[in-house]
Structure 1
């Protein structure tokens, strides 16, 4: 099941934003802690400046975002008609267990760690420029439903995906305070045309085979076979 990549948009487009545990990062008066209509007079905790990020458990994973139903074409091929349906919407996620820098700053650090951002700047603010990987308002990649025209007979499926990057972080302040958390984002948006008659050769292709090709695929079906 060899796929043909039709597009590849590099470098960390992000979508929407899902942020939890960061409410204390912007400072305040502490009124929320007391509840509506009450004031404690105690300032809310804020994230420290000049802290240092340490990242661990960095992982990269291809995720299926859209797939079409299979479509049989006869000799000479032709235009595919079945559109892709969305099966997963990638969302950036930043969460922490205490006051932390802004989500954009955290994603900037993650991007540098993952090799998606090439910068010697210590922080996003110091960099003086922006990257799509740190844009928490970037919309999700659209599913490309352009009419593809294979030139040969086969049982065809279109599918799309992204590569997700995630890791755990620890942010250490100069005074010794630390905050831990987790961040996730996606980097590459790709689309593939594949033939269900071909053997799946990747984890993503096996998932497509199960969902769209009506194939029962073994977990290790792509492993080399003994002679």
Structure 2
């Protein structure tokens, strides 16, 4: 697995820097192997600048329930939601780059999710944001307790707003590294009636997957 990661030059999820240099799988004598292993490994500079491009935001469906008919006067829904997508923070970089938290901090500022005047997360005076946590768990498919008050065929669904973008990190000496980062911002739960025309792309997806007959 180490050989595959080094060959691809990509790290997904938690971005790792300063990993020992890869060595050949065969050939050469022991002295050559030791020399290669002991060579300095390039690390990311701490005072570079980010440039972001192709910033996109879109709503992703994370779960929905089967339709449930409720009689006159409304009532509690019983059908649970089932998960169809699990959002998670992700950072990829081709070469030495800052930590995943620093990259997500910069993305959060670019997307308007983080309001901070600090140039880096390390200089943010101890402030923390869930958006910078690469291990942030996906939101649960909780029942929000909302009950329909009229007769109809209802579906509950949940989603997140996902933000992603490409980045280029440039060091003062001219070295650059490029990559891609993704995270989710708000999560939401919605109650909708299958008899009502869907008014958004996400609602239309739910209608197609849950309300329409198979």
TM-score by length of 1: 0.81
Aligned equivalents of 2:145 and 2:47: distance in 1?
51
Aligned equivalents of 1:96 and 1:29: distance in 2?
17
Match of 2:64 in 1: 67
1:83-118 deviations in Å (ceiling 9; x for gaps): 000000001110011110000000000000000001
Match of 1:142 in 2: 140
Give the superposed CA RMSD.
2.1
1:169 maps to which of 167, 170, 195: 167
Higher relative contact order (CA 8 A, sep 6+): 1
Aligned equivalents of 1:203 and 1:48: distance in 2?
42
Across the two proteins, how many residue pairs are aligned to each other? Answer: 196
Aligned equivalents of 1:188 and 1:170: distance in 2?
26
1:131-185 deviations in Å (ceiling 9; x for gaps): 1110122211000135542110001000000000000100000000110111000
Structure 2 stretches of 5 or more lacking a match?
1-10
Equivalent residue runs for 1:77-96 within 5 Å: 77-96=74-93
Equivalent residue runs for 1:15-30 within 5 Å: 18-19=12-13, 22-23=15-16, 25=17, 27-30=18-21
Aligned equivalents of 1:56 and 1:48: distance in 2?
21
Aligned equivalents of 2:85 and 2:107: distance in 1?
22
2:118 maps to which of 117, 121, 133: 121
Corresponding residue SS for 2:85: coil
Q: Point out the structure with the larger helix share.
A: 2
Matched, 1:158 2:148: no
TM-score by length of 2: 0.86
| Distance change in 2, residues 1:146/1:191 (3 Å) | closer
Preserved contact between residue 81 and residue 147 of structure 1 (Cα < 8 Å): no
| Distance change in 2, residues 1:100/1:162 (3 Å) | same
Preserved contact between residue 62 and residue 84 of structure 2 (Cα < 8 Å): yes
Q: Deviation at 1:48? A: 1.1
Match of 1:5 in 2: none
Q: Deviation at 1:33? A: 3.5
Preserved contact between residue 159 and residue 191 of structure 1 (Cα < 8 Å): yes
